[in-house]
Structure 1
Amino acid sequence: MNPAVRLIDVRDTPLSLDEVYGAVTDPTAGGICVFVGTVRDHDTGQAVAALGYSSHPTAAARLREVAERIAAECDVVALAGVHRVGDLAIGDLAVVVAASAAHRADAFEACRRLIDELKTEVPVWKHQTFVSGDAEWVHPH
């Protein structure tokens, strides 16, 4: 395991910006980039009434694989990523990822890759119910 991957989790409890930020702080890091995904009140032009995330049992392991790959390919000091599952409210934190590096460009690149590759490779699904009563399952990634 790459020591740069400091925090990886999929959990059903509220996420903490401080926890994720703290995981990537380091005296050698000149730049830290954090991305926060929140539950919004609309999607595809419809008002959202309720939203929940579900994950496959391998989701945390897949997230670790993604982070390990990025840590090996990017010039980073540290990476962290946490995704929430369960029922969430509008405004709740759904995902928080962060990267630190000696220089800001590397931190931005690694953070962007971490969220983008999490969204395409980690088996997490969103179930949203609209105010209209319609509902849908979405692989939001």
Structure 2
Amino acid sequence: MPDAPAHVTDIAGETPVIVRVQNGIFDIADETAKLADGRADIGAVVSFIGYCRDEGGRLAALELEHYPGMAEGEIARIANVARERWPLLGVTCIHRYGKIAPGEPIVLVLAASSHRGAAFQAAEFLMDFMKTRAPFWKREHLKDGTTGEWVEHKDTDQQAADRWA
């Protein structure tokens, strides 16, 4: 059973934000349907799904750890910044933790708006900041049975986030 979502809404309740950090796989179609929920004011839902790569066939699993409570809070903070920057009608951010096999989804970002431009930009903004600001740590488990070091953030991830300043 997935972990309970942390809901954040603006005062008018017009822009729901769902943030969830969970161990299990999420259902992309179900999450998208829940976000849109037959709303006639939504003209676009842009999604980003990040998957675990096999790193050239050497990776057995990627282990993700997080700081419970702090991870959800930081993702919610990032989502609220996105709501301030773009005319969003809904946001869903789901990030997994635990051991994740190559080919499995790790992260889902959904941004809903009346128009596609705002939804695309917000989704990209959300991912750029989740990669650099949300407190998650990754460690590789290799097919040869060894456990790799903790994976460092890439400079390119920080450069992508810096462009939004």
Does the TM-score normalized on the shorter chain lie above 0.5? yes
Name the structure 2 match of 1:10.
21
Secondary structure, counterpart of 2:88 in structure 1: coil
- Alpha carbons 1:67, 1:79 under 8 Å: kept: yes
Over the aligned positions, Cα root-mean-square deviation in angstroms equals 1.8
Match of 2:102 among 90, 95, 100: 90
Give a deviation string over 1:50-106, Cα, whole Å, max 9, x none: 211100121011111110111111111111100000111111110000101111111
Q: Aligned residues, how many?
A: 139
Match of 1:34 among 33, 47, 60: 47
Distance (whole Å) between structure 2 residues aligned to residue 112 and residue 70 of structure 1: 10
Distance (whole Å) between structure 2 residues aligned to residue 131 and residue 14 of structure 1: 22
Distance (whole Å) between structure 1 residues aligned to residue 23 and residue 119 of structure 2: 27
AA partner of residue 67 (structure 2): H
Task: Please report how far the alpha carbon of residue 130 of structure 1 lies from its aligned counterpart in structure 2 after TM superposition.
Answer: 2.6
Residues 1-141 of structure 1 mapped to structure 2, 5 A cutoff:
1-2=9-10, 3=13, 4-25=15-36, 26-42=39-55, 47-57=58-68, 58-132=70-144, 133=146, 135-139=148-152
- Alpha carbons 2:19, 2:72 under 8 Å: kept: yes
- Alpha carbons 2:141, 2:147 under 8 Å: kept: yes
Structure-2 change in CA distance of 1:90 and 1:22 (3 Å): same
AA partner of residue 114 (structure 2): A
Secondary structure, counterpart of 1:77 in structure 2: strand
Secondary structure, counterpart of 1:79 in structure 2: strand
Distance (whole Å) between structure 1 residues aligned to residue 50 and residue 120 of structure 2: 16
Give a deviation string over 1:1-46, Cα, whole Å, max 9, x none: 424243101111211202331243132111110000011111xx67
Runs of 4+ in 1 over 3 A off after TM superposition: 131-134
- Alpha carbons 1:62, 1:121 under 8 Å: kept: yes
Task: Please report how far the alpha carbon of residue 129 of structure 1 lies from its aligned counterpart in structure 2 after TM superposition.
Answer: 2.0
AA partner of residue 112 (structure 2): S
- Alpha carbons 1:20, 1:96 under 8 Å: kept: no
Structure-2 change in CA distance of 1:122 and 1:108 (3 Å): same
Distance (whole Å) between structure 2 residues aligned to residue 73 and residue 24 of structure 1: 19
